[in-house]
Amino acid sequence: MNQHESQRSRILIVDDDNAFRVATVALLREEGYSVRAVKGSEEAKRALSEESYDLILSDLVMEHMNGIDLLRYIRQTLPDATVMMITGFGSVQTAVDAMRSGAFDYITKPCNNDELVIKIKRAVDESRRAKELVRLRNLLQGEANFSNVITRNEKMKDVFKLIRQVAETDVTVLVLGETGTGKELVSKAIHLNSSRRDMPFVIVQCSAIPSTLLESELFGYEKGAFTGAMKLHRGKIEEAEGGTLFLDEIGDVSLELQTKLLRILQEKQFSRLGSNASITADIRIIAATHRHLDEMVKEGKFREDLLYRLNVFPITLPSLRERLDDIPILAEFFLEKHRSLARREITGFTPAAIHDMMNYDWKGNVRELENLIKRAIIKSDDATIKTLELQGVQPDAGTTEPLDPPQTTALPYKSYIEHVVRDAELKYLQRLLKECKGNLNQVARIMDVDRKTVYRKLEDYSIDPSLFRE
């Protein structure tokens, strides 16, 4: 592992042998790892609650709690953690038993330095591969692969051509288009067709995070950088190391933060809050917005030099009004995708329903189409969907049409209650957003939940909070 790769790998050593701790910390730091060493299980628990680690190196025999008990504790609290055991020659069988309980590997004392370094590199590499495999599977399950962008439209085929041209390069891409046109999906397609495909694709919803918090979310912070900074926090830029950072709704970023983003684009360097040390970022940046950035530059709301850095390779997505020929196949695709919501077998749409969809002004674009089809599936009592109740939707109101509960109780009790609860939750979110004028910090405070929960709910219901702001 080279210095650049290893400097971001964090290792926790748990051993009551002071000489071993000192020697191993020195060895691993020389290899470029970030290392913390503690002498017992209680200190280990505290360390694990404060920071995340790529590898935990734990002795088998310690006071108060032995290594097997600590391993079980880690498996319960941090099931994805990678653990390597340290043992004497007389306890090899115990170490093998530990591997059966979930340890990745073991090393015997006294350790051969070369063997220790090799085994640790293997464990760290496996830990990273496992994390990225989970991330990649989640992306693929979310229909982010290139082949799943549904279209027969010529304008969208031109977009595909642009994606193919730019994917294998490392240039910055700016994806433009109205809300709901699929900017995130296209950005994921670029990532998954690039040489960075096996590395992270990290999304930052710039419009969903208050400007006062966005800087720390992006750059991270050191312990004690501000009140409440109880431990070191790696930001989204570090999380995206080796992969792609997707800045959604870049037009909502404050001018002050735009200046700091410019340094990332120009120098590929940044600093955590509370630190003057520069960190090199090996990332590709893709930004997206529904705003007209050139107009914002004229109004003094967006930095012209930042726009030049972002607009290296622009891709403009057509609205659904510009790709009406896609509506029938998109409708069938969403029907198949959400078929499990139906109370009976639904075979398709009536010609009248397709006609209405083709003549509707889709202000919410593809996202609005999907939401209305989900609603129609839930409410349909027939084998075909006759209408999407388009006249009952206010597409410019900035809300997703509520999913009214089923009009019949001819459903399993659990399914019926789920429909009722989702409808109530959606209306509650929309009312709060309206009252708080899109201020998600205030919404989270009223709901008595953290901001991440609010972001997850908004994504689940495809609600764009920027449409509630005045």
The amino acid that residue 320 corresponds to is: L
184: domain CATH number? 3.40.50.300
Last residue of a domain, which of 273, 299, 318? Answer: 318
CA–CA separation, 344 vs 448, rounded Å? Answer: 38
What angle do helix axes 451-460 and 413-435 make, rounded to 10 degrees?
110
* 403 part of a folded domain: yes
Q: What is the pLDDT of residues 266-286, one digit of tens each?
A: 999 998 888 888 888 999 999
267 shares its domain with 333? no
Task: Give the model's pLDDT for residue 408.
Answer: 41
Q: What is the pLDDT of residues 191-202, one digit of tens each?
A: 988 999 889 999
Task: Give the model's pLDDT for residue 144.
Answer: 40
Q: What is the pLDDT of residues 295-311, one digit of tens each?
A: 999 999 999 999 999 99
Task: Give the model's pLDDT for residue 393.
Answer: 40
Question: Which strand (E) or helix (H) includes residue 12?
Answer: strand 10-14
Model confidence band, residue 139 (pLDDT cutoffs 50, 70, 90): very low
Task: Give the model's pLDDT for residue 229.
Answer: 74
170 shares its domain with 264? yes
Averaged pLDDT, 52-68: 81
* 413 part of a folded domain: yes
* 137 part of a folded domain: no
Last residue of a domain, which of 284, 303, 318? Answer: 318
383: domain CATH number? 1.10.8.60
401 shares its domain with 420? yes
- Measured from the Cβ of residue 217, the count of other Cβ atoms closer than 10 Å reads 18
Q: Give residue 338's domain range.
A: 321-468
Task: Give the model's pLDDT for residue 96.
Answer: 74
Cα radius of gyration rounded to whole Å, the chain: 26
Kindly give the residue spans of alpha helices, DSSP state H, lying in 274-404.
Answer: 293-298, 304-310, 327-337, 351-358, 365-379
Contacts for 159-167 with beta carbons within 8 Å, 24 or more apart? 159/186, 159/315, 159/317, 159/318, 162/313, 162/315, 163/189, 163/190, 163/193, 163/315, 164/193, 166/190, 166/313, 166/315, 167/193, 167/194
* 373 part of a folded domain: yes
Residue found by looking up tokens 């999906």 in the block: 185
Tokens of 400: 């997703």
* 99 part of a folded domain: yes
314 shares its domain with 326? no
327 shares its domain with 436? yes
Last residue of a domain, which of 112, 132, 152? Answer: 132
CA–CA separation, 181 vs 191, rounded Å? Answer: 18
pTM value? 0.56
Task: Give the model's pLDDT for residue 419.
Answer: 57
420 shares its domain with 340? yes
Averaged pLDDT, 453-460: 84
Task: Give the model's pLDDT for residue 92.
Answer: 67
> 402 pLDDT exceeds 50?
no
Task: Give the model's pLDDT for residue 397.
Answer: 37
Number of domains into which the chain is organized: 3
67 shares its domain with 171? no
